[in-house]
Structure 1
Amino acid sequence: MATCSILPDILCSFPAVSDSYIRLARKTIDDGFRAQVRSHAHLIDAVVQPLQAFLNFLEKLFVNSPWIVVLAVMLAIVYLASRSKAITLGTAFGMVLIGVVGLWEDTMVTLAIVTVATLIAIIIGMPIGILMARSDRVQAAINPVLDVMQTLPSFVYLIPVVVIFGIGKVPGLIAVVIYAVPPMIRLTNLGIRLVDRDVLEAADAFGSSPGQKLWNVQMPLALPTIMAGINQTIMMSLAMVVVASMVGVGGLGKNTLQAINNQFFTFGFLNGFALVAIAIIFDRASQAFGKRLQKHTEVVHG
C-alpha cells in the first residue's frame, strides 16, 4: 500500500487494466475468427470433401482387402525399397504379430491416415522447399514460420483446426499434416542447396536452363536428403496420430487414448507396440532406400 501511495495510479492498477484489455482482445479475436469460419463454411466444406472421400476410400481399401493381399503388397514394397531380406522378414513378423493380437483393422486405419498425411506433406512441402532453395529471401521469410510450427506444442494445432473444421477424421488429418510438413520443407531445401557447385557450373556450361538444372541435376542429387525428409515426415505423422485421436481420428491412436483414460496397461502397451512396429518398418525401409539412392548418385556422378 505504501508503494502504491508513491507510484501513479495507472502503475498500481496495471495488472487489472492489462487483464481487462487481454480479455477484451481475446473475445474480439475469438468472435471474429468464428464469424470468418461461419461465413466461409461453404468453401471449407469444398476443401474438406475431397480429402474426406480420398481418406475413406483408402481406409476401406486397406481394411476390406484380405489381410494376406495387404501383407503381400506391403512386403513387396518394403523389399523393392530396401532390397533387404532382413527388413522384409522383420516386416512380415511385425505385421503378423499385429494381426495375432487383434489390431490389424486399427493398424490399417492408422496406415491410411499416415499415407494420406505423408502424400499431402510431400505435395505441399516439396514445392516450398524448392522455392526456399532458389531464393534466400523466401528462405528468410519461411524459416521463422517453420520454427514456430516445430516448437509449438502439438495439442495447440488442434484448437484452430477444430474451430475451422469441427470434429472428425479430416480435422485430425490436417493437424497431422501441419505437424509433419516442416521436415519435408527443410530437408528439400537443404538437399538442393548442398548440391556441389562444380556440378551446377558444368550444367551451366552445357547450356541448361534453370528448370533443366533443377530437375535433371539438383533434384536427383538431392534425392537422398529429400528421402530423409520423407522419413521424418512419416515418423512425425505416426507420433501425431495419437494426439489427433482427441478430435476423432480412429485407429491405434484412438485405442491408445482410451487405454490412457481407462488405465488399461496391456491394451495400451499392445497399441504402442503396433505403432512402434509400423514406425520401425517405415524407418528401416525408407532409410535403406535413401542409402541406395545415395550410392547410385555417387556412382553416376562420382
Structure 2
Amino acid sequence: MSWWSEFPQLSRTQLMALRQTLDEGYREFSREYGASIEAFFDPLLAFLVWFEKILLAAPWWLVIAGLMAITFAAARSLKLTLGVGAAFFLVGFLGMWQDTMSTLSIITVCTLLAIILGVPIGIWMSRSNRVQSVMTPVLDVMQTMPAFVYLIPVVMLLGIGKIPGLIAVVIYAIPPVIRLTNLGIRLVDKDVLEAADAYGINSWQRLVKVQLPLAMPNIMAGVNQTIMMALAMVVIASMIGVSGLGQPVLKSITNQYFTLGLLNGGAIVVLAILFDRVSQAYAKRSQRYLEAQQ
C-alpha cells in the first residue's frame, strides 16, 4: 500500500528530471550549433529582405499593376482583376501599404519554400507505401499541434526575427501541399498509366508528363490551403518579430485598438482573397486545359 501511494510522487520526480535533461540538452544543442544553423539560412534571409525591399521601393501603382497582371494571367477574369486593384489601392489609401507588402513578401517566400519542399515529399510518399505510413502520423502531428508550440524550439534555437518566423510558418503550413500531392498522384487513373507505359516512357517521363499534370488540381488545392494556413500563422509569428500586418493586429489586441485591428485584419483578408481566388482560378483553367487535351 505504501509503495502504491509513493509511486505517483516518484513518477513526477522522474518526469521532472527527464524534462530538465531534455531542456538542458536542447540548450546545449542551441549553444553549439545555433550559429551554424543561422548561417545556413542566411541566403534565405538575404532573398527575403531583397524581395521585401523591391516591393517597398517600387512605386505603389507599379506594384498594383503587377498584381493585376498576375491575377488576369492566372484567372482571366476582368472582374477579379479590377477587384484586386481596387482592394490594394484601398489598402494603401488607409495607410497599410508597408505592412501589407512585408506580409506579401513573407507569404510569397513561405509558399515557394513549401512548394519546393512539399511537392517532392508528396511525390516520394506516392511512390512508397512505407514512406506514406511513416509520414502520415508526422503530418497529423504537424497539423494538430497548436501554432504557438512551433515558436518555442525555433526561438530557442535562432532567437527572434524573420528567419525563425519563416521557418515556423513553413512547418505549420506545409502539410496540405504534401498530402494533396501524394493524393493527386495516387488518384491518377491506372489505365492512363498503362497507356503511357505502352509508349515506352521511363518513370521520370511518366511523372513529369502524365502524373503531375493530371494531379495538378489536387496539388493546387494543397497550395491554396498552404497559403491560407501561412496567412493565419503570420499573425502569430508577429510575436517573435516578423514584420507585417500581424504586428498591428497584435498591438490592437494588447491595447484594445478596435479600428487598428479591424483595418489590418481586413488587409489580411485582401491578401487571402488574392491568393485564394488566383490559385483556384489557375487550377480550374489547368483542369479545363487537360480535359480539352484528352
TM-score after normalising by structure 1: 0.96
Query: For residue 116 of structure 1, what is the aligned residue in structure 2?
Result: 109
Secondary structure of 2:188 counterpart: coil
1:239 aligns with 2:247: no
- Which digits, 9 at most, give the CA deviation of each residue in 1:210-252, with x for residues without a partner? 1111011101111111111111111111010000001110110
CA distance in 2, matches of 1:97, 1:157: 34
1:260 is aligned, of 245, 253, 261, to 253
Query: For residue 88 of structure 2, what is the aligned residue in structure 1?
Result: 95
- Which digits, 9 at most, give the CA deviation of each residue in 1:131-154, with x for residues without a partner? 001111111110000000000000
Query: For residue 136 of structure 1, what is the aligned residue in structure 2?
Result: 129
Secondary structure of 2:287 counterpart: helix
2:168 is aligned, of 172, 175, 183, to 175
CA distance in 1, matches of 2:34, 2:252: 35
Q: Per-residue deviation at 1:23?
A: 1.0
1:71 aligns with 2:61: no
CA distance in 2, matches of 1:154, 1:189: 24
CA distance in 1, matches of 2:38, 2:250: 28
Q: Per-residue deviation at 1:100?
A: 1.1
Secondary structure of 2:223 counterpart: helix
Q: Name whichever of 225-234 and 34-43 sits farther off.
A: 34-43
Query: For residue 154 of structure 1, what is the aligned residue in structure 2?
Result: 147
Query: For residue 206 of structure 1, what is the aligned residue in structure 2?
Result: 199
1:251 is aligned, of 229, 236, 244, to 244
Mind listing any 5+ residue stretches in structure 2 that lack a counterpart? none
CA distance in 1, matches of 2:205, 2:175: 26
Query: For residue 226 of structure 1, what is the aligned residue in structure 2?
Result: 219
1:54 aligns with 2:65: no
Query: For residue 187 of structure 2, what is the aligned residue in structure 1?
Result: 194
1:295 aligns with 2:288: yes
CA distance in 2, matches of 1:48, 1:73: 29
Secondary structure of 1:288 counterpart: helix
Identity of aligned residues (%): 57
CA distance in 1, matches of 2:3, 2:255: 51
Q: Per-residue deviation at 1:14?
A: 2.5
Q: Name whichever of 273-282 and 40-49 sits farther off.
A: 40-49
CA distance in 1, matches of 2:36, 2:204: 34
Q: Which structure would you say has the larger Rg?
A: 1
Query: For residue 269 of structure 1, what is the aligned residue in structure 2?
Result: 262
Secondary structure of 2:135 counterpart: helix
CA distance in 1, matches of 2:4, 2:19: 23
Q: Per-residue deviation at 1:182?
A: 0.3
CA distance in 2, matches of 1:233, 1:47: 24
- Which digits, 9 at most, give the CA deviation of each residue in 1:73-115, with x for residues without a partner? 1000000000001111110111111111100110000000101
CA distance in 2, matches of 1:101, 1:115: 23
Q: Per-residue deviation at 1:51?
A: 1.6
- Stretches of 4+ aligned residues off by more than 3 angstroms: none
Query: For residue 25 of structure 2, what is the aligned residue in structure 1?
Result: 32
1:125 aligns with 2:118: yes
